[in-house]
Chain A
């Protein structure tokens, strides 16, 4: 593999792993040590404001409503989430954050903002703009790859296509 690709590949994997690891350690050391990273992401998906449906939240997290139900049960017990039936349609269950849930959610987004702030603060405005453009392009590309697996019954087949770089070459 050419050196550029190797460096990029290693950096991508390391950034992903280290962001998650740093987040996990900051959680353990902070006020919300009873929350796992996955639980924190569930709180973030619900958000600090309007109540949301189970279906939409599961969709955003890319999990089934069954899996979300188990996670929400635990978060309700820990005092971070409130679950209520819709007043008009009893079949619909809405979830929202308690005050503690809102606090955890906002502290977590602060963590991400501080991380981003510290990464960017050493750069001049033009360089920042350039970095943000490049990061956004990488983000868009990876999101496109992820979308290829959506609504795909045979993930293994799609994975092989991604590995063989078929569709991306066809599109290009």
Chain B
């Protein structure tokens, strides 16, 4: 069983991998800051592609309300961590 920092590191790696696949960017070009929607290199379709892939990878459900609170990659990691913890 992984402890919290290890688990968060794994989630971070998965998030960056899925995001870079969705955006067709190399991981180092994926922006950390997701707060300014207009400056992001992806549209809402790609955002949902990312969300659906993340849901399938972790067998979780991410609501639109939860997405509203996302400002950076760290928030995505915390959200996935919280949802997987709730699943047991």
Contacts and interface: CB of A to CB of B under 8 A. Distances in A.
Number of contact residues on A: which range applies?
10 to 19
Interface in A132-160: none
Interface string B61-78: 100100000000000000
Contact of B44 (A48, A102, A107): A107
Contacts of B49: 99, 103
Contacts of B64: 106, 109-110, 113
A103 B52 contact: yes
A16 interface: no
B81 to A, nearest CB: 20
Interface of B is mostly: helix
Interface residues of B, number: 8
B42 interface: no
Nearest to B51: A106
Interface string B29-57: 00000000000000011001101100000
A31 interface: yes
A103 B61 contact: no
Contact of A99 (B44, B52, B61): B52
Given A109-B64, A110-B64, A113-B64, A102 B45 contact: no
B45 A31 contact: yes
B33 to A, nearest CB: 22
A106 B48 contact: yes
Contacts of A49: 61
Nearest to B61: A49
A99 B49 CA distance: 8
Interface of A: 31, 48-49, 99, 102-103, 106-107, 109-110, 113
List the 6 closest pairs (A to B, CB-CB), nearest first: A106-B48, A102-B52, A103-B48, A31-B45, A113-B64, A49-B61
